[in-house]
Each structure stands twice: as C-alpha cells, then as structure tokens.
Amino acid sequence: MVTSPTLDQIRNFEGKYPKQLWYLFFTEMWERFCFYGMRGVLTVFMASQLGMGEKAANLQYGSIQAFVYAFTFIGGLFADKILGFQRSLFWGGALMILGGFIIAVAPEDYFYIGICFNIIGTGFFKPNISTMVGQLYNENDKRRDAGFGLFYAGINAGALLGGYVMVEVGKHYSWSLCFALVGLVMLVSLAIFAFTRKSLGPIGLSPLHPSVPMNKRRLMEIAVYVGSLLSIPLILLMVTNTQYTDLFMYIIGPATLVYLAWEMRTFTREENIKLLGALVFIFFSIVFWAFFEQSGGSLSLFALNNLKPDLFGWHIDPNVVNNSSNSFFVLLFSAPVGLFWLWLSKRKAEPNSVVKFGLGFLLLGAAFYVFKSTMQFASPDGITSLEVFTLAYFVITFGELCLSPIGLSLMTKLSPTRIQGLMMGMWFLASAYGQYAAGLLGAGMSADDPNASNLEKLKLYTDGYGELGLYALIAGVILLAISPFVRKLMKGIH
C-alpha cells in the first residue's frame, strides 16, 4: 500500500526538482495540448466553417478566451474555500473531456455548447495545478523559480504538440476528429494525475476545517458541481452575445478587487504591501496579453489569408507556424535564457522581476514592428513572407520568457498561503482581460468590407501591428522607470 508523504518530506528533496513536479508536468502538458490546440483553431473554424466575418471572429475569439481565463478566478476561489486543488482539477478535467466530445459529435451545431464545458473545465483545472507546483517548495526555497521554469516547459511542450496536431487534423482531415482529440488527450492527463496524486500528500486536499461534518462537506462540494453545470446556459448566452461579454467584464474585475480588499483586512501590513506589488504585475500583464494574444485572433486570420505556405523551402501550413512556433522557440531557448540569468546572478547583475517585465514589453514592441514589416514583402495579391512572420515570433518569444515564467512564481511568492489560489486566479483573470482586449484590438484592425481584398486586409493588419508595437515600447519604458518603487513593494523578493 502506497502511503502519502508529509509536507516536510515532499519539500526536503535533493537536487533541483521534487519528483511530484514531474507528475504535475505531464498532467499539465496534455491539458495544454488541448488548450493551445483549441486556441489555434478557434478563429479558423469560426471563419471557415461557421461563416463569420473577420471582425466577428476576432470579437468571438476574445469573448471565448476571456471567459476561459475569467473562470480560472472562480475556479481558484472555489478550490481555496471548498474543493481543494485536487478535486478541482478532476472536476475541471472531466468537464473538458465532455466539452471536446460534445463538439466532436457535430462541430457546426454543438460548437458553443462544448465550448461552455471547456470554459468551466479550464477554470477549475488551470489555476489549481499551478498553485500545487508552488506548494512543493518551502517559502524561501530558491529552487522554486527553476521548478516553475520546468513546469513552463511542460506547458510549451503541450502547446507545441497541440498547436501542430489539431490545426493539421482540423484543417486537412476532420473537424470532428480535431475536437475529439480534446476529450481523448484530457483522459490521458487525468489518468496521469489519478495514478500519482498520492505522492502529493496533503497538497491540494480539502481546505475545510476538520471540524466541518462529512455530510456538510459533501453537500458543499455537490453544490459547487451542480452550480457549475447550472451556469452553462448563462455562459452560453454570454459567449454567443458579445454585448453580454462586455457587461460581464465590466463587473468581474471590480468585484474581484473589492473581494481582495475584503480579504486584505485580515493580513499584516507587510503582506498587504506585497499584495500591492502583485497587483502591479497583474495590471501590466493585462496589457502584455492584449498584444501577445493577437496570435489566436488577428494573427491566426493573417496566417489563414496572407502568408505563403512555404518556410525556407519546406511546405507547411502557416496556421501551424502561427500556433506552434512560439512554443518551439520557448522550448529551444528557455534553458539558455535561464542560464543567462543565472550567469548574471552570480555576478550580482541579474535584473529584478520588474525590469524583466519591462524588457519583455520592449521585445514585444520590436516583434510587432517585425509583423508590420511583412507589408514590405507582399505580392500584389496580398500574400507575404512566412519567414519574416516566423522571425517576429522568434523575437516575441524572448519577450515572453522575460515575463510569463516568473509571473506564476511571483503570485505564489507575493501572496499569503491561504489566498494563493485566489491570486493565481487573479493572474489568469488578468489574462482574461488581455484576451478580451485582444479581441477588440483584432476587430478594430479587421476590414469592415467582407469582400475586401487580401492586400487591403494585409495593410489594415500591419498598420495595426505598428501601433501595438509603439504602445508596447511605451509600456516597457514606464515599467523600467517605476521599477525602484515596485521593488520596495516586493519587500526583498527578487
């Protein structure tokens, strides 16, 4: 019989990574296969199979993705208060499996219903597995960043595979099989977690006090499960009517800040100051993801209509490049970038997290100027270079490596333990606002005329990418300027 280890036994491991991290790595990798695979085909499917115009597809993409990330806040909240991270993960995975298979039955008819199951499922799954990674380490363990770096590699391995496979299967073989892959691969993800969950010991178990009677525990858990299912018609209404998305986004953010302020009254002054530091990172991450997430919206349509299917003489679907190249470059360069930070650290020259965020924005701005430059390589029919497009993703990857891996780690470092699920949810809620803004920005760059030529579409998108590049550079300069102030809020956390 396998016995569960204690928290001290888990955290007193030798080497750089605890064995439990590898189990969570593979659980997350296959879930990210599904998430990024779905992200890569959403606008393509809506434009090519549901007959949407580009403006509508961009807005719909932003709406769907906003709800996906907004529900990570709700999922994190229920995990913190009632379910615990492990039960939340199982429930979320089960809903994602159902969602994939529902769409697969008849993609054109059941697309939005299946998407609703995926929205709720991701909300319960995503923030809670990230929080469990943070709890594998003692509070001041310097190996935590390395652990999140490895976990981030798992995310990108899944994104690379899903981004390639689901685009290829959907566009060139069968949309039903494409969406069925979500259900099949999520079964693998949950199986890995089920067979390894005992190794997590007390991490992720019920947060309810031991004095709460078992029948009351069960009733509260069942209420969460039933409530999440009953919310599906409401989510369906909001996803299919983007004006309701607007209303939801106007409400959820302020309500979240009010709730956080309520929680903050119970913390010490130092804990609250660190939480203010976390909020600075959360705010700027909204701006970053609003630009970065053009990859699932406008850049996906750009790849569909305006790129040659040829990369250095190799025939390849441009949507595969759009959906997978960033993950490929992350896997290729995350270790060298990590070693570079380590080399600087040994010489006491490593920039702090705020400066890294600022550098991330500067590189993001440079990448969008490269996207803008594709206009210079366009043929008269509006078809341009896939090589230059890929170069932009090469640049954008280094911007992401300055920001995203440390964001997850910072939320666990700057947050008191009992609201880490909430703060991880807020980090992903910031992504929801980024996705929402990404859809609005993408729609704003799209042609009003459904009969616009490819060249006209190309000019509108590249002009828009130039503006995004400028705004990203301005945000980077602001972050670098305020870095001394934010460092004081972080109270010594690097």
What pLDDT was estimated at residue 421?
Answer: 67
* 2 pLDDT more than 60: no
Domains of the chain are 14-489 (1.20.1250.20)
Which range is least confidently modeled, 33-37, 244-248, 374-378? 244-248
What pLDDT was estimated at residue 179?
Answer: 92
pLDDT grade, residue 65 (50/70/90)? confident
Q: 313-364: per-residue pLDDT in tens?
A: 889 888 888 888 888 998 888 778 777 877 887 888 777 778 888 899 999 9
* 399 pLDDT more than 80: yes
Q: 179-238: per-residue pLDDT in tens?
A: 999 999 999 999 998 898 888 888 878 777 777 788 888 898 899 899 989 989 988 888
CA distance 230 to 228: 6
Cβ atoms of 479 and 361 within 8 Å: the answer is: yes
Cβ atoms of 388 and 318 within 8 Å: the answer is: no
Q: What is the mean pLDDT of the chain?
A: 85
Of residues 14 and 88, which shows the higher confidence score?
A: 88
CA distance 178 to 6: 41
What pLDDT was estimated at residue 387?
Answer: 93
Pairing status of strand 314-315 against strand 310-311: antiparallel
For the ranges 15-24, 303-312, 465-474, 475-484, the one whose mean pLDDT is highest: 465-474
Of residues 425 and 74, which shows the higher confidence score?
A: 74
Q: How many residues does the chain have?
A: 494
Closest CA to 387 of 323, 490, 328, 312: 312
Task: Determine the angle formed by the axes of helices 54-78 and 19-48, rounding to 10 degrees.
Answer: 150
Query: In whole angstroms, what separates CA 124 from the centre of its chain?
Result: 14
Cβ atoms of 118 and 182 within 8 Å: the answer is: yes
197: helix, strand or coil: helix
CA distance 355 to 378: 36
Report residue 366 as tokens.
């440079």
Cβ atoms of 366 and 395 within 8 Å: the answer is: yes
Residue 400 CB partners (closer than 8 Å, separation 6+): 292, 326, 330, 360
pLDDT grade, residue 116 (50/70/90)? very high
Which range is least confidently modeled, 94-103, 115-124, 353-362, 425-434? 425-434
450: helix, strand or coil: coil
Report residue 47 as tokens.
């434009």
What pLDDT was estimated at residue 76?
Answer: 75
Segments in 2-53 forming alpha helices (H): 7-11, 19-48
